[in-house]
A and B are shown apart, each in its own frame.
Chain A
């Protein structure tokens, strides 16, 4: 009974946030135009100078997916922070509804926005010559990896949005997520970097996630270890982040009221 209500409340909140996403031109632009622009930028502007085995577009697609997810998380953090400064959250709290539905609405809308962006990255990639060799099963696995990553980042973004108190602060806090993909294997293999950065790139969470996708789609990773090995680390990072940030976000939400 309670669960049914919680689901219904979440459904209303999801619909609300999806509507808001579509009606906010800025967020809409970020979510849908950015992937296309970044893809063209990396493949045609930087791509010529990159030395990777095979075509650069074959290398860079997983990196761009992660980069876009980072930008998407920024949008979500700002959306949550904006909402929290608005009186409507106080009204929601004073109503007999599941409190969790407010955050679930944001997270699911974020998931939808980011999956749309990912689809766009893949579509544009295929259009300009990306030729993954993975089987249908590999595609399913890669999609699951992306879904898990985005889910974890969305909860993290919700937490950041709650922590930040203002949309401006949320925006600057989430800059970290937008830049963290660069010192990873997203755009260039780690072994081309200076030693210290190489070590960081190899051990930061985005690298195993990117390598998992790369391995699934192209048949080999850029780091050396087998795909399964990278996948285990990637899944552990994502589930850890998901558990931690959803717990922290829910706790923060319980305490915050509009300014």
Chain B
């Protein structure tokens, strides 16, 4: 599943593992969180070897899974106290800590309600709070906002940013470019078990997230003429559209349209869009850049 993945995570920083479904993100987290034994490879977490000292690793980490890893039949307060007890906090301290976290994660009014009655966003917040009952050296957030509505997602990002500001080291996995952008210092793009790109979010965005201008032509002759003059990223003969990657500036687009006009093959309509994560993955994972040959059918 995973193949020669090499990652280094700085203390106090946030690394986002970005990838589509099935890329190997969860496998990676499961291995690092001691749930699954890797077939090969090594990892050191907070000075503990993953294979040689799994208990040491367990002591240093906290896992927030894809589904809220809390007990729905218990109340928020009970969940926190239970985890506190399992982490050997004295009862009194666990209760005080639970209270503080319920306040911090805006769950204090719901503390005595069963988690079953919580909204999706509240469950995830409780999940995060549970992970913080004893401050971990490394916090795994495995797709923390998958399945949440945009509002709850926004809220959770706020909560996570506050954790990050406290200096918690985080390994985040996500399918959302925006989420990685919001939270991470470093982004690693994982696809088919391999890291296909990594860097600061800004770097990746300029590298991968360029504007695409889609030009549509009124008749096939214009389309063919323009195709010879442009460097298309992709093209569609049936729809008579040509996609061109640009830096996104108005001047660049204006100049391109001018050239087409002068050549007598003007564009009839234009639209611009930013590549989606899917486009980024396509670009990163295809062996050669898609040339007109394979795109023009």
Chain A interface residues toward B at CB < 8 A: 5, 8-9, 12, 15-16, 19-20, 23-24, 86-88, 90-97, 257-258
> Which A residues touch B154, using CB under 8 A?
none
B85 to A12, Cβ gap below 8 A?
yes
**Does B73 contact A19, Cβ atoms closer than 8 Å?**
yes
Are B78 and A94 interface neighbours, CB within 8 A? no
Q: Is B74 an interface residue (CB 8 A)?
A: yes
Known contacts A90-B35, A94-B58; is-contact A19 B78 (Cβ 8 Å): yes
Contacts A93-B34, A94-B61, A257-B30 given; indicate if A20 touches B67 (C-beta within 8 A).
Answer: no
Which 5 pairs, one residue from A and one from B, show the smallest C-beta to C-beta distance? A87-B69, A91-B69, A87-B65, A94-B63, A96-B58
**Smallest beta-carbon distance A22→chain B, Å:** 9
- Chain A residues near B36 (CB-CB < 8 A): 257
Question: Separation in Å of the A86 CB from the closest CB of chain B?
Answer: 7
Interface residues of B in 84-124 (CB under 8 A from A): 85-88, 114
Would you call A95 and B65 a contact (CB within 8 A)?
Answer: no
Can you list, as one digit per residue, whether each of B69-87 has a CB less than 8 Å from chain A (1) or not (0)? 1111110001000110111
Query: Chain B's nearest CB lies how many Å from the CB of A113?
Result: 15
Judge whether B55 is part of the interface by a CB distance below 8 angstroms. yes
Q: CB-nearest residue of chain B relative to A22? A: B73
Whether B33 sits at the interface, judged by CB under 8 Å, is yes
Binary interface encoding of chain B residues 183-196 relative to chain A, with 1 for a CB under 8 A from any of its CBs, else 0: 00000000000000
Query: Contact residues of B with A, CB < 8 Å?
Result: 30, 33-36, 55, 58-59, 61-74, 78, 82-83, 85-88, 114, 130, 140
Residues of A within 8 A of B78 (CB): 19
The distance in angstroms between the C-alpha atoms of A76 and B69, with both chains bound, is 21
Rounded to whole angstroms, the CA-CA distance of A88 and B82 in the bound complex is 12
User: Chain B residues near A87 (CB, 8 Å)?
Assistant: 65-70
Q: For the A-B complex with A20-B73, A86-B72, A91-B69 known, give 10 more contacts whose Cβ atoms are closer than 8 Å.
A: A8-B88, A16-B71, A16-B74, A19-B74, A20-B74, A87-B68, A90-B63, A95-B58, A95-B83, A257-B30
Q: A9-B86, A96-B59 are in contact. Are A90 and B73 (CB under 8 A)?
A: no
Which of B61, B82, B114 is close to A23, meaning CB atoms less than 8 Å apart? B114
Given contacts A19-B74, A257-B36, contact A91 B58 (CB under 8 A): no
Q: Report A109 CB to chain B, min CB distance, Å.
A: 12
B114 to chain A, nearest CB (A): 7
Can you list 11 pairs linking A and B with CB atoms under 8 Å apart? A8-B85, A86-B71, A87-B66, A87-B68, A87-B70, A88-B69, A88-B71, A90-B69, A94-B34, A94-B58, A94-B61
Contacts of A9 in B (CB 8 A): 86
B108 to chain A, nearest CB (A): 21
Task: Tell me, in angstroms, the Cα distance from A96 to B83 when the chains sit together.
Answer: 11
Is A91 a contact of B65 with CB atoms below 8 Å?
yes
B88 partner residues in chain A, CB cutoff 8 A: 5, 8
Contacts of B67 in A (CB 8 A): 86-87, 258
How far does the alpha carbon of A20 sit from the alpha carbon of B82 in the complex, in Å? 13
- For B66, what are the chain A residues with a Cβ–Cβ distance below 8 Å? 87
Q: Residues of A contacting B69 with CB < 8 Å?
A: 86-88, 90-91
**Residue in contact with B86 in the complex, picked from A90, A95, A257, CB distance below 8 Å:** A95
A92 neighbours in B (Cβ, 8 Å)? 86
Q: List the B side residues contacting A19 at CB < 8 Å.
A: 73-74, 78
Task: Report yes or no: B33 in contact with A94, Cβ–Cβ below 8 A.
Answer: yes
Inter-subunit contact A257/B35 (CB<8 Å): yes
Assess whether B71 is in contact with A20, with CB atoms less than 8 Å apart.
Answer: yes
Scoring A16, A90, A93, A258 by chain B CB atoms within 10 A of each residue's CB, the highest score goes to A90
Q: Smallest Cβ distance from B201 to chain A, in angstroms? A: 27
A167 nearest CB across to chain B (Å): 14
Residues from chain B with Cβ under 8 Å of A94 in the complex: 33-35, 58, 61-63, 140
Provide the bound-state CA to CA distance between A23 and B65, in Å.
25
Q: Are A91 and B82 in contact (CB under 8 A)?
A: no
**Cα of A97 to Cα of B84 in the assembled complex, Å:** 12
Name the residue on B nearest A97 (C-beta). B86
Contacts of B86 in A (CB 8 A): 9, 12, 92, 95, 97
